[in-house]
Structure 1
Amino acid sequence: MPSDIPLSPAAAVQPNGLSAAEQRAIETLYRAFNEQDPALVHEATTPDWQDIPLGPGQAPGPAGLGPVIAMFAQAFPDVRITVQEMFGHQGRAAVRARITGTHRGEFFGIAPTGKPIDVVMHEVHHLRDGRISHTWHLEDWFGMLGQLSAWPPQA
């Protein structure tokens, strides 16, 4: 499955302030979801990568994201993460992105609705030796619950 995220040609520093290796690592992390391939997480991150905060039931480290990717693939088989903006400086990067898909499988106890989702996501990455060592993320999960008509709770 091709990625919506173009890979950068090799260069010392991209116009967005990141090295080609840093940009490629970040793009590869999102490709792991788009291509439903957890092995890409190991390629993009350091062995001691920290995902902050961990999702419900998520184990730490790169291997901990594999089950999350599988859960998203089951609930939203057409899940896509589209980067809207990425910039960085001195081993730090900020990403503004969107998660889209169609709710076709159970997601945290919510039965499939067939409804589309469009979730805003912001992440800050620390990079070391061309790979991601830390990720802090914030997604609009309450907004997504509203899109699925699961929030606010119905009386």
Structure 2
Amino acid sequence: MKKNKILNSIQTTAIGIAMLVGSTVQAHEITPEIFVSAVPSAHTEEIKQAAMNYAKFWDTGDEIYAREALFENFKDMTPPEGRKEGVEGVLEASQNFRKAVPNLHVEVEHLLITGDFATIRYRFKGNFNGRMGDIIGQGQVVDFPAVDIYEVHDGKIIKNWHLEDYNTFFSQVK
């Protein structure tokens, strides 16, 4: 009898953990609204996975997704002034932006894969509740686009070119 209670308790705990893990993974699943690939292949899937892992990083701020997506010698080809190089610069940029927009959420509107390159059109959303320079947030709604181009080799992003619509962002947080 006592053995059955212990087994039931273990089973209940295992089911609860499985549900929690399953819901966490599902909560961070991101899929592109539009996906286009010139020539679908295993290589294309590898590139898509790297791009989506990087999107998950920007959506969650979780370092594990950035490290999964980015080559260790990753190069940001269009870094903002003062940003550290490589993966560490990306991690710091995310942390700093999340201080200004703590509930940041990212949607992938379009993913295009050609050869070794992925072009991804993002939409960044949230509320500006932090501080950016002299501007102090008061919960303003943030909703602005960005476009990234990734060069991917061996399943990792080795180079990134990006353009964020900061004009829209700053017009929303004034």
Q: Do the structures match in fold with TM over 0.5? A: yes
Query: How far apart are the structure 2 equivalents of 1:143 and 1:117?
Result: 9
Conserved? CA contact 1:123–1:137, under 8 Å:
yes
2:85 to 60, 64, 70: 60
Moved over 4 A (4+): none
| RMSD over aligned Cα atoms | 1.9
Structure-2 residue corresponding to 1:16: 37
Structure-2 residue corresponding to 1:50: 75
Query: How far apart are the structure 2 equivalents of 1:109 and 1:68?
Result: 18
User: Which residue identity is paired with 1:68?
Assistant: A
Encode CA deviations 1:58-78: one digit per residue, 9 max, x unaligned. 111111111111112211111
User: Which residue identity is paired with 1:76?
Assistant: V
CA change 1:58–1:38 in 2 (3 A) is: farther
2:97 corresponds to 1:72: yes
2:151 to 96, 101, 126: 126
Structure-2 residue corresponding to 1:10: none
Find the residue that maps to 1:57 and give its secondary structure. Answer: coil
Q: Which has the larger radius of gyration?
A: 2
- In structure 2, stretches of 5+ residues that fail to align are 1-23
Conserved? CA contact 1:4–1:82, under 8 Å:
no
In proportion to residue count, which structure has more helix? 2
- Count of matched residue positions in the alignment of Structure 1 and Structure 2: 143
- TM-score (structure 1 length as normaliser): 0.84
Structure-2 residue corresponding to 1:97: 122
Query: How far apart are the structure 2 equivalents of 1:139 and 1:15?
Result: 22
- TM-score (structure 2 length as normaliser): 0.75
